[in-house]
Structure 1
Amino acid sequence: MDSQKIVIAFPFTGGELGGSHISAAGLICGLDRDKFRPIIILHKNGLILEEYLKKLGLPFTLAPNVSILSADSELGFAASVANGVRLVRTTAKLVPFLRRHRVDIVHTNDGRMHATWALAARMSGAKLLWHHRGDPMARGVNIMAPLLANHIVTVSHFVRPAKPIVPVTHKITVLHSPFDHPSDLPDRDACRRKFVEELGLRPDTRFVGYVGGLIERKRPVKFVEAVHAFLQHHPDFPLAGLLFGTNAANGPDLDGAVKSRAKELGISDRIHLMGFRTPIAPCMGALDALLVTAVNEPFGRTLIEAMLLKTPVVATNHGGNPEAIDDGQTGYLVKPECPEAFVGPLERLLFDGRQWETISSTALENARARYGNKAHVEGISRLYETLVPRQSPAMHGQLVSRH
C-alpha cells in the first residue's frame, strides 16, 4: 500500500553536481520502492543536476520560490536580522509544501539545504535527517543540527560535529559514502594515449592528476607545486599534471591561480586544466597516480573512485583521508601543505612497476571489500525505518478492521 511507504524528500539547489549529489542519487536509486517513496526537489531547474538526474531516470519536482539560506555565514547584526526574516518567509512556504506531499522525512545533504529546510521539516511534522559531509567546526552541524535534526549522519569520523551545542552522541551515525563498483577496469594505455593525443604531448608522457572542484580546501595550487617539486628532482622525466574540475559557483578564481602558479614555477607546459569530465573512469585510467592535496577533506569520493579503478593514491595525512588509506599498503599518506612530501611516493610509483602493481591491486581489493552502494543503502534505510516506524501491511489491515 502506497500509504504505508515512508516518503523522503531530498532537496537540492540544482545548480551544482558534486560528490554529495552523486552519493544521494546512488542512495535514491537503491531504495526499496516497496518501502520508500523518494521525492527529489530542485530549487532551480534546467541546470547541471537536472541533466544528471535525467540520465539516471530520476524524476523531480520544483521547490516553491523561496530564498536559499546559508548555515555558516558570518553575519553582522543587520544582515542577521534580514536572514532571520528570510528564514521565516521561507519556512512559511516550505511547511505547507511538505505537508501537501505528505513527507515523513526530509533528508538534507549540504549546508544550504540544511539551513533552508531544517526548521520547515520540523514544523511540518516531518523528521529531519542531516547528512553532514563538511567541516566538523561548521556552525550548522554544531548549532542547528544538535537542536533540530532527529538524526545526524556523517561520512567519516573526522567530520563528526566538534563542538555541538548540546550532546549528539545518541543520534549520530558514521556511514561512508556509497560507491558503484565498475564492472570492468579501463584500458590504461588507451586512456593515456587519448590524453597524449588531445594535448599534443610526447608519446611517453606520464600523468598524475587532481580530480575535484577547484576550491580552496582541496588546494589545487598545492597540486601544481607538488608536480613542480617532483620535476625539480627529475627535470627530464616526461611528467604532466592534469586537473579535472572547475571553479565553484561564486567561488574564487582558482583556475586562474593554478595557471598563474604554474607560470611562476616555469611549468606551464606541464600543467593542463581539463575542465569537468564525465565519466571519470577514462580520466582516472590515464593517471599513474591521483594526488590528493586537500586539507579538511571530509571523505573524498575521488580517492575511493581511484582505488576502485586501480589508480594509486597519494594523499595528505589530514581530514578523512587516513580513514581510507593504510599508508604504504593501499596508498600513501604525506604531510599536508608540503608539496615536497609527494616526491618520494611518486618516485616509488613511477620508477618501480612492481610497487605500483602492489599498491594499486591491494587498494582495489580493499575498496571493493569496504565500499559499496548496498551497505550504504541498507544503513540509511534502517535509519529511515527507525525514525518513522511503520506497521506491517497485515497489522495495518487488522487495525483498520477494528474501527
Structure 2
Amino acid sequence: MRNILFVHQSAEMYGSDKTLLVLVTEFKKKTINPIVVLPNDGPLKDALEKENITVIIAPVFKVSRKMFGVRNLISLPKQISQAIKILDQINKKDKIDLVYSNTLAVLIGLIYAQKRKIKHIWHVHEIIESPKLVVKFFKNALLSKANNTIIYNSEATKCFWNKDNEILNQKAVVVLNGLSKSEIELPELERAEIKETLLGAKNKETMIALVGRISRWKGQKLLLDAFHNLSKTHQNIRLLFVGSPPPNQEVFLETLIQQVADYDLIEKVTILPFQDDIAKIWEVIDIAVVPSTEPEPFGLVALEAMLASKPVIGANHGGLKEIIIDNETGFLVEPNNVEALVHSLEKLITDKTTRETMGQKAYQRAIAVFSLENYVSQIEQICLKQIADHPNPK
C-alpha cells in the first residue's frame, strides 16, 4: 500500500474540490492510501470521511493578498513549524511516499516535500492573470527543484504557465478532468414537481442555468443582461443561478439579487445556494451557460452539464475551448459579449430539436473523452512512477 499525502486549499465542493474527491475515492479502491490535508471543516471533509478517507486539518498556506500583509508574514514561520509538526506525525505513522498539492494556491505541500526530501507533484487547476507579483511568485514556485511533476488540467492552463519555458515544459503533463455520469433519471412527473416547487417554474418553461460560484468573473451579470434582453420577446423562459459566493464575499450575491430586482425579473429568475444534490437540478435544466468573463482553466461545470445531456454555451477562451465543440455540443461565444450570448441562446430557446440533438452529442463526447476511468488511470500512473523512481528516504 502506497501512502500519498494530498494537500488542498478548501473544504468546499466546487471544481477542484470535486476532482479531488473523485480521484482519492477511486485511489482508495486501489493500492493507494490517500491522506488529505484541508485547512478547515466543510462539505468536502464530510464527503471524504464518508468514503473512509483520512482527513487532517492543518495550515496549508493558501497564497492570497492577505498572506503578504505584515502581520501574516510575521506569523508565517510559526505557522510553517506547526504544519510541519502535524505532517511529521503523519509521516511517522504512515510513511508518506509522495506529496500531491491539488491546486497551485497551496504551498505547504512543496515546503514539506522539500524539507523531508519526498517527491512532489503539483496539480494546477488555475489560470491567474493578476496581480503580476503573484503570477511571478507562482512561476518561480513551479520551477522549484523539489517540484518533480506538474499536472495541468487543460492545454490552456499549461500554455499560460509554461509559455516559452523549456524547464517547465519538461516537467509538465496535461490530464483532462474526468467525471462519472449520475445514474439519476427523473420521470416527467417528478421533473415537473422539482421545477415548480424548488424553482418556481412552469414545466413548459425553457430553463436556462448557470451553475457555479457567484463571483466577480463567473459571468452572472453577463448572463442576466442577456436574459433581460431575451425576456422582452420570449415569455416562456426562466433563468436559474445555482451557487454561493466565496467566504466573506457575499457582496457578489447581494449585487446579483439587486440587479434582478432592477430588471424587474424577480418572477423569472431563481437563485439557489450551493446544492449537495446537483444531479436532480441538472435533470430539469434545458440549456447550460458558462459565460466566464476570464479564462476558465478547465470548466468542470460544462462537463457536468454534458454528462446530463445538456447543450452548453460557453465563453470562447481557456479550457472551455477544449470541452465544447462549437455548433455540435453547444456554442462557443465571444467572451464578455452580450449580443453574441443572446444570439446563441435564442437559437436553443426556439429550437427544441437542436437542443436535444446537441445535448446527446454533448453526452457522447463527455463519455468518450472525459471518462473518470481514464482520468484516474493517468494520474495513478504518474504517481506510481514518481514513487518507484524516487522512494521516500525515511
Letter in 2 for 1:196: E
Which whole-Å deviations, capped at 9, do the CAs of 1:295-332 have from their partners, x for residues lacking one?
21111111011111111111111111111111001110
Of stretches 317-326 and 88-97 in structure 1, the one that deviates more from structure 2 is: 88-97
In structure 2, what residue type is equivalent to 1:145?
L
Q: CA deviation at 1:139?
A: 4.5
Which range moved further: 267-276 or 382-391?
Answer: 382-391
2:140 corresponds to 1:143: yes
- CA deviations on 1:108-155 (whole Å, 9 max, x unpaired) are 11344x223211122112211111111154445412122142111111
| Distance of 1:188 and 1:359 partners within structure 2 | 20
- The aligned residue for residue 132 of structure 2 is none
Quickly say closer, same or farther: Cα 1:34–1:353, change in 2 above 3 A: closer
Task: Name the residue aligned to 2:251.
Answer: 253
Cα distance per residue 1:312-365 (max 9 Å; x no partner): 111111111111111001110111112221222222212112211221111111
Deviation at 1:24, TM superposition (A): 1.3
Bigger mean CA deviation after superposition, 162-171 or 247-256: 162-171
| Per-residue deviation, residues 213-237 of structure 1 (Å, max 9, x unmatched) | 11222122222112112224x1x52
SS of 1:108's partner is strand
Q: Which residue is 2:35 aligned to? A: 39
1:313/1:27 Cα in 2 relative to 1: closer, same or farther (>3 Å)?
same
- The one of 44, 49, 53 equivalent to 2:44 is 49
The answer (yes or no) to whether the contact 2:67–2:73 under 8 Å persists in 1 is: no
State the match for 1:182 in structure 2: 182
Which residue of the partner structure matches residue 330 of structure 1? 329
Letter in 2 for 1:254: F
Tell me the alpha carbon deviations over residues 278-308 of structure 1, each in whole angstroms, 9 at most, x when there is no partner. 3222211111101111121111111011111
1-structure distance, mates of 2:81, 2:63? 16
1:231 alignment counterpart: 231
SS in 1 for 2:158: coil
- Rate the CA distance shift 1:188–1:167 in 2: closer, same or farther, 3 A: farther
| Root-mean-square deviation (Å) | 2.6
Q: Which residue of 1 aligns with 2:273?
A: 275
**Which residue in 2 is equivalent to 1:17?**
13
- 1:195-210 matches, within 5 Å, as 195-210=195-210
Query: Which amino acid in structure 1 is aligned with residue 24 of structure 2?
Result: I
Q: Which residues of 2 match residues 300-315 of structure 1 at below 5 A?
A: 300-315=299-314
SS of the residue corresponding to residue 168 of structure 1 reads helix
Letter in 2 for 1:102: K
- Return the alpha-carbon distance in structure 2 between the equivalents of residues 188 and 343 of structure 1: 29
Q: 1:188 to 1:280 in 2, by over 3 A?
A: farther
For 1:2-401, what aligned pairs fall within 5 Å after superposition?
A: 5-12=1-8, 15-31=11-27, 35-45=31-41, 47-55=42-50, 57-64=51-58, 67-73=59-65, 78=70, 81-82=73-74, 84-86=76-78, 88-90=80-82, 92-94=84-86, 96-100=88-92, 101-112=94-105, 114-135=106-127, 137=129, 138-139=135-136, 141-147=138-144, 148-160=146-158, 162=160, 167-183=167-183, 185-187=185-187, 190-232=190-232, 234=233, 236-294=234-292, 295-389=294-388
- Residue 27 and residue 268 in structure 1: after superposition, are their counterparts in 2 closer, same or farther (change >3 A)? same
Deviates more, 1:7-16 or 1:20-29: 7-16
State the Cα distance separating 1:72 from its structure 2 match: 4.5
Residue 200 of structure 1 deviates from its aligned partner by 4.0
Question: Is residue 215–residue 245 contact of structure 2 (8 Å, CA) maintained in 1?
Answer: yes
Equivalent pair of 1:94/1:117 in contact (CA under 8 Å): no
Aligned partner of residue 10 in structure 1, secondary structure: strand
Cα offsets for 1:24-64 (capped at 9, x unmatched): 1211122275532211233434x322222244x23323245
Larger mean Cα displacement after TM superposition, 309-318 or 345-354: 345-354
TM-score of the aligned structures, taking structure 1 as reference length: 0.86
Shift of 1:198: 3.3
What letter is aligned with 2:208? V
SS of aligned partner of 2:384: helix
Q: 1:190 to 1:14 in 2, by over 3 A?
A: same
| Long gaps (5+) in structure 2 | 130-134
Please list the CA deviations of residues 382-402 of structure 1 after superposition, one character each: whole Å capped at 9, or x if unmatched.
1112211179xxxxxxxxxxx
Amino acid of the structure 1 residue aligned with 2:374: A
Alpha-carbon separation, structure 2, partners of 1:76 and 1:159: 25
> Is the CA contact (8 Å cut-off) linking 1:217 and 1:297 kept in structure 2?
no
User: Whole-Å Cα distance in 1 between the matches of residues 218 and 278 of structure 2?
Assistant: 18
Please tell me whether the aligned partners of residues 35 and 56 of structure 2 are also in contact (alpha carbons under 8 angstroms): no
Q: Classify 1:199/1:305 alpha carbon distance in 2 versus 1 (closer, same or farther; 3 Å).
A: closer
The Cα of 1:81 is off from its aligned counterpart by 4.2
Between the aligned partners of 2:10 and 2:161, the Cα distance in structure 1 is 30
Provide the secondary structure at the position in 2 that maps to 1:217. Answer: coil
Unaligned segments of structure 1, at least 5 residues: 392-403
Equivalenced residue count is 380
Deviates more, 1:375-384 or 1:93-102: 93-102
